[in-house]
């Protein structure tokens, strides 16, 4: 009941109507939705188009892209991001940035080398200039 009251207030803008009778009723007003939804563009939302998909960069991807102004290794990136170890979020962000060709490996022939570092590509540099 408490959740329904909060829901009605949050999404309907007013307290729900409670009607007691033979049957208890709760009426929650909801805003009208137009058939045409206007898409508001948030300048902090950066999108990358890879030819097929239009993808929004996650916060982790943006942070990594900004940190890679100069080449860094995975331990350096993890430290600067505040991660104690590799996470799925970190791995996914690196993979997506590599797939979108926003970053590249300094040693592409040996991806698991302890000397591996990541750096921005020209595409990444041009995108990052829009962030900073």
- Do residues 77 and 54 share a domain? yes
Q: Are strands 47-49 and 25-27 parallel, antiparallel or unpaired?
A: unpaired
- Do residues 51 and 22 share a domain? no
Residues in the chain: 132
Determine the longest span between alpha carbons in the chain, in angstroms: 75
105: domain range?
47-131
- Do residues 101 and 59 share a domain? yes
Q: Is the pLDDT higher at 22 or at 123?
A: 123
Distance CA 47, CA 28 (A): 36
Q: What is the pLDDT of residue 116?
A: 95
Residue 15 pLDDT level (bands cut at 50, 70, 90):
confident
CATH code of the domain containing 109: 1.10.10.10
What are the tens digits of pLDDT across the range 17-69? 777 877 777 776 666 554 444 444 443 455 665 555 556 788 899 999 999 99
Domain annotation covers residue 90 = yes
pTM value? 0.60
Domain annotation covers residue 40 = no
Domain annotation covers residue 11 = yes
Instruction: Say how many domains are in the chain.
Output: 2
What are the tens digits of pLDDT across the range 92-112? 999 999 998 999 999 999 989
- Do residues 123 and 87 share a domain? yes
């Amino acid at each position: 009941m408490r959740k329904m009251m909060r829901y009605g207030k949050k999404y309907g803008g007013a307290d729900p109507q409670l009607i007691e009778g033979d049957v208890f009723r709760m009426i929650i007003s909801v805003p009208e939705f137009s058939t045409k939804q206007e898409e508001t563009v948030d300048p902090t939302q950066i999108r990358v188009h890879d030819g097929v998909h239009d993808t929004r960069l996650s916060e982790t991807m943006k942070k990594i892209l900004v940190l890679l102004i100069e080449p860094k290794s995975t331990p350096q990136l993890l430290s600067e991001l505040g991660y104690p170890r590799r996470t799925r979020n970190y791995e996914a962000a690196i993979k997506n940035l590599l797939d979108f060709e926003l970053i590249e490996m300094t040693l592409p022939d040996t991806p698991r080398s302890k000397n591996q570092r990541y750096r921005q590509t020209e595409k990444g540099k041009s995108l990052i200039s829009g962030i900073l």
